[in-house]
């Protein structure tokens, strides 16, 4: 069994990997195989935590700090891994589908960063406008904010799919041993199972209501919820999620 697990996935080719590629692969797996998907799951399903007394207690930023920390860490790891593979490219001619997939990911990551910087002001009671009002792009759900959320969420999931394809193509190109394919497959199955379970429990809460509450007079609560499967919150739904 151990011998079978250690055998490369394609027995007709050797599994050879040098120092640069090894560390490039490890850092990218940590960034895109672990940090990014976990950051997305936390962002989607932890807007209101089980013990949070919502709507008495609003704007629980645990999800935000976790999401931001994981995404920034993944970006830093990606840059380091990219610099490492540049060193590798000086020694060999690299032509494989993994390369265009990787560059597509880098371009989309940069677009995410730019979009985040241009998303506008927050507003609300904790971040009022200079005139003292609660106006802000997020609180008012301005067109600028709406476009950002559609872009950010759509590109975010595209990046998840591209990263899976990139990881698998990299593993195939390096002829990774069977145990790596098995571990990565089981990890993906676990992530998908967690995603489906939390979605069925109704934990994909609307960001706007998680921050400012369910008052129907608030501007954001008068607009369509952004995101497939994202639900507006009611006090009863939070209680049921906590009990379950």
DSSP per-residue codes, 99-146: HHHHHHHHHHHHHHHHHHHTS----SSSS--TTSS---HHHHT-HHHH
Check whether 242 has a pLDDT greater than 50. no
Report d(CA 244, CA 240) in Å as an integer. 6
Q: Which residue has the higher pLDDT, 6 or 189?
A: 189
- The pLDDT > 70 percentage for the chain reads 93
| Rounded alpha-carbon distances, angstroms, from residue 6 to 2, 9, 11, 115, 178 | 6, 9, 11, 43, 6
Report d(CA 150, CA 117) in Å as an integer. 15
Report d(CA 137, CA 5) in Å as an integer. 53
Report d(CA 175, CA 12) in Å as an integer. 10
Q: Which pLDDT score, from 0 to 100, does residue 234 have?
A: 64
CB 181 within 8 A of CB 169: no
Check whether 162 has a pLDDT greater than 50. yes
| 87 token code pair | 């060193």
What is the 8-class DSSP label of residue 94? -
Domains delineated in the chain: 2-8+18-49+58-238 (1.20.120.1770)
Summarised one tens digit per residue, pLDDT across range 26-77 is 999 999 999 999 999 999 999 999 889 999 999 999 999 999 999 999 999 9
Q: Which pLDDT score, from 0 to 100, does residue 236 have?
A: 54
Q: Which pLDDT score, from 0 to 100, does residue 105 have?
A: 97
Summarised one tens digit per residue, pLDDT across range 164-174 is 999 999 999 99
Cβ atoms within 10 Å of 45's Cβ, excluding its own: 21
Q: Which pLDDT score, from 0 to 100, does residue 233 have?
A: 75
Which of 17, 31, 21 has its CA nearest to residue 79?
A: 31
Summarised one tens digit per residue, pLDDT across range 207-222 is 999 999 999 999 999 9
């Amino acid at each position: 069994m151990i011998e079978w697990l250690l055998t490369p996935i394609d027995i007709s080719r050797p599994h050879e990997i040098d120092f640069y590629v090894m560390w490039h692969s490890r850092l990218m797996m940590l960034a895109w195989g672990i940090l990014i998907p976990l950051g997305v799951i936390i962002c989607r399903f932890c807007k209101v935590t089980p013990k949070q007394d919502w709507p008495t207690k609003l704007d629980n930023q645990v999800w935000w700090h976790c999401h931001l920390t994981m995404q920034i860490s993944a970006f830093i790891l990606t840059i380091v891994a990219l610099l490492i593979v540049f060193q590798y490219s000086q020694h060999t001619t690299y032509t494989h589908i993994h390369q265009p997939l990787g560059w597509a990911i880098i371009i989309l990551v940069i677009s995410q960063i730019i979009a985040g910087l241009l998303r506008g002001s927050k507003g609300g009671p904790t971040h009022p406008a200079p005139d003292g009002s609660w106006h802000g792009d997020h609180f008012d759900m301005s067109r600028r904010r709406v476009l950002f959320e559609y872009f950010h969420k759509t590109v975010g999931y595209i990046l998840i799919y591209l990263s899976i394809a990139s990881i698998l193509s990299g593993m195939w190109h390096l002829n990774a041993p069977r145990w790596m394919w098995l571990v990565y497959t089981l990890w993906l199955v676990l992530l998908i199972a967690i995603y489906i379970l939390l979605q069925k429990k109704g934990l994909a809460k609307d960001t706007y209501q998680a921050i400012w509450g369910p008052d129907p007079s608030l501007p954001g609560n008068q607009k369509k919820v952004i995101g497939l499967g994202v639900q507006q919150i009611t006090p009863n739904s939070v209680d049921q999620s906590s009990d379950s």
